Amino acid sequence: MKLENEDKQSIFEIVAARYFTTQNWKWVNLKKDSNKITKAFDELNEQYASYSYVSRDWYVENMGSRNLHMCNSWEELKNLVAFLNTHGTIFNFLVNTGNRKSFCIVSNSRDLDETQANAIKEVQKLGYNTFVFLATIPDEIDFQLLQVRGVN
């Protein structure tokens, strides 16, 4: 059976997520969860509007969504959301290695297109590291379909 590009991309993401987990890195799949980060940002703004005597930085540090966006300050979260709104579809993961937060592209090629290269330049301006998780997946996968019959 021939694997479609969407199938390969899903496999890449599974392999990368498994690697991040085995390294004990915190990570977020941006293809699935970037809208959750934006929603957390909006909720934080609503909280601040209701209770403006508490600083936005306090909300960022103490809200349950911190494990999702991994930001330490309001400015960092604001910049992250702005970046995700313009370039978020380019990256697959936001990863915290313990030393630094990084954006990750999963791919089967070392070659980056112009859009990816520009997004990497922009995210590095915000102080994030970037990396490409390379994986090789065959174009076709063999399988068998076995029928198991029950006892009558």
Report the chain's mean pLDDT, rounded to a whole number.
91
pLDDT tens, position by position, 4-57: 888 988 999 999 999 999 999 999 999 999 999 999 999 998 988 888 888 899
Per residue in 90-134, pLDDT tens? 999 999 998 899 999 998 888 899 999 999 999 999 999 999 999
Q: DSSP string spanning 72-124? A: SSHHHHHHHHHHHHHHGGG-SEEEE-SS-EEEEEEES-SPPPHHHHHHHHHHH
Looking at residue 152, its pLDDT comes to: 65
- Backbone phi and psi for residue 49, each to the nearest 5 degrees, phi listed first: -65, -35
The model carries a pTM of 0.85
For residue 105 the two structure tokens come to 């592209």
Phi, psi for 132 (deg, rounded to 5)? -110, 125
